[in-house]
Chains A and B, each alone.
Chain A
Amino acid sequence: MNNERSLNDARLDRAIDRAVREIMQVDPAPGLRRRVLSRLNAPGSPRTFPAMRYAFAAKAFAAAAVVVTVVSFALVPSQVEPPAPPKPPAPTIASGVPPIDLEAVLSTPTAASASIPTNSALVSTERIAMPRVTNIFGAQPAGVSAATVREPAAARVTTETLAPLRIVPLSARPIVIESLVLPALLK
């Protein structure tokens, strides 16, 4: 039995050796030397132009940097607010002129606003219920105040009644300039 097994082992060993030999004992195709030398002598070989490799790498890096920059600008929302339109100068009211109810002035239709043409077809006569506004300052006092008194129509100030600007001096006293004395520093 052992003899039979060793004979079988030897047979399998021979089969393995033969299979490996058939796989491996292949010669390279003729002309390998010529093919290698032609690749060595080919123009554009990295050995001949080593700097070109770095040039390509630098170009690729620069292109990638540009792409990253553009994408980052495109994805990040703009943090800068657009410049606000310049505010109109506040109206200067000369002293001595009675206070003007600006709210009333602004609510008065002017000639300019009255002249704006309106499309009557688009204007609806239906009343639109407005939401009830709660007075955030609390209950309205029972007393009379400037804010609650409605002025008569005749007393309303229109833009035509504004007085021209007038410069009023702050003080009539002349400014006295006194000489500066520094006794301690002279010692």
Chain B
Amino acid sequence: MAQSQDCVTGTEPSAATDLDLVRLAQAGDVDAFGELVERNRRAVFRAALACVRSPAEADDVAQEAFVTAYRKLGTFRGEAQFRTWLLSITWRKAIDRRKSISRWLRMAVTAPPADAGEADFNQMERVASSSRSQEETFVDEELQQNVTRLIGTLPKKLRDALLLAGTGEHTYEEISQMLGAPLGTIKWRVSEARRVLKRKLSALGYAYE
């Protein structure tokens, strides 16, 4: 909760709690809702990013989530934290967006990136100019690329839990309420995601070097 009180724009943070701002916004104070947006924008954006994996899409989802939250503000009774309620709305919007994206992507032909060879060349140049051990740097870069690629191949439930836990913005309790799964299930999914990634990396030859 302390993270949500941060004001990342450099303006002076308001002393009012989220609930106070919600009451003001319910009374028609748009500026109070703007303050809520400011407090929660990063958490909302990163939750959306964990789902849709695209910053531009995540920005759209974040906007839709805030607008929806404002319209449904009358239904918020304060029984749960505003941030948790907002993140639940965000996750639902992100899931809707992901479904539409996946439908679009299914129709599109997945072609390999045209600049793959160029990326390899650039990587070799970076290795040559590095002060570290060239071999070490090259292996680390390659490992990093493989991990990033393998995260994309994880089952969605495991990947969502892993990425949300890695945002630095959401607690396990918040992730649990966002995804509608028990806390123990969320922890297991994160652990299982890491285990699956390591197994796949082992299959690529990274385990016993």
Give A contacts to B, CB under 8 Å.
Answer: 4-5, 8-9, 12-13, 15-29, 32-33, 35-37, 39-41, 46-47
Q: Does B182 contact A (CB under 8 A)?
A: no
* Complex contacts, B33 vs chain A, CB 8 Å: 37, 40
Q: Does B163 contact A (CB under 8 A)?
A: yes
User: In the bound complex, do residue A27 and residue B63 qualify as a contact, i.e. CB atoms below 8 Å apart?
Assistant: no
Give CA–CA (A46, B42) in the complex, Å.
Answer: 26
User: In the bound complex, do residue A24 and residue B168 qualify as a contact, i.e. CB atoms below 8 Å apart?
Assistant: yes
User: In the bound complex, do residue A32 and residue B30 qualify as a contact, i.e. CB atoms below 8 Å apart?
Assistant: no
User: In the bound complex, do residue B151 and residue A12 qualify as a contact, i.e. CB atoms below 8 Å apart?
Assistant: no
Give CA–CA (A29, B35) in the complex, Å.
Answer: 17
* Complex contacts, B140 vs chain A, CB 8 Å: 15
Q: Which of B9, B34, B166, B206 contacts A24 (CB 8 A)?
A: B166
Give CA–CA (A17, B147) in the complex, Å.
Answer: 10
* Complex contacts, B71 vs chain A, CB 8 Å: 46-47
Tell me which of B43-51, B100-108, B126-134 binds A: B43-51
Q: Which of A4, A13, A32 contacts B63 (CB 8 A)?
A: A32
Give CA–CA (A4, B206) in the complex, Å.
Answer: 12
The 7 closest A-B pairs by CB, nearest first: A20-B166, A28-B45, A19-B147, A36-B66, A24-B167, A33-B37, A19-B148
Contact residues of B between 112 and 160, Cβ < 8 Å to A: 140, 143-144, 147-148, 151
User: In the bound complex, do residue B70 and residue A19 qualify as a contact, i.e. CB atoms below 8 Å apart?
Assistant: no
* Complex contacts, B197 vs chain A, CB 8 Å: 12, 16
User: In the bound complex, do residue B147 and residue A28 qualify as a contact, i.e. CB atoms below 8 Å apart?
Assistant: no
- Look across to chain A and name the residue whose beta carbon is closest to the beta carbon of B46: A24
A8-B207, A12-B206, A28-B55 given. 10 additional CB < 8 A pairs?
A9-B198, A15-B140, A16-B197, A19-B148, A20-B151, A20-B163, A21-B166, A27-B42, A33-B9, A39-B63
User: In the bound complex, do residue B59 and residue A28 qualify as a contact, i.e. CB atoms below 8 Å apart?
Assistant: yes
User: In the bound complex, do residue A23 and residue B37 qualify as a contact, i.e. CB atoms below 8 Å apart?
Assistant: no
Q: Does B192 contact A (CB under 8 A)?
A: no
How many Å from the CB of B190 to the closest CB on chain A? 10
- Look across to chain B and name the residue whose beta carbon is closest to the beta carbon of A25: B168
* Complex contacts, B37 vs chain A, CB 8 Å: 32-33, 36-37
- Look across to chain B and name the residue whose beta carbon is closest to the beta carbon of A19: B147
User: In the bound complex, do residue A22 and residue B70 qualify as a contact, i.e. CB atoms below 8 Å apart?
Assistant: no
Give CA–CA (A46, B72) in the complex, Å.
Answer: 11
How many Å from the CB of A45 to the closest CB on chain B? 8
Known: A26-B46, A28-B62, A29-B59. A17 touches B166 (CB 8 A): yes
Q: Which of A8, A16, A28, A47 contacts B58 (CB 8 A)?
A: A28
Give CA–CA (A8, B38) in the complex, Å.
Answer: 41
Contact residues of B between 22 and 72, Cβ < 8 Å to A: 30, 33-34, 37-38, 41-42, 45-46, 49-50, 53, 55, 58-59, 62-63, 66-67, 70-71
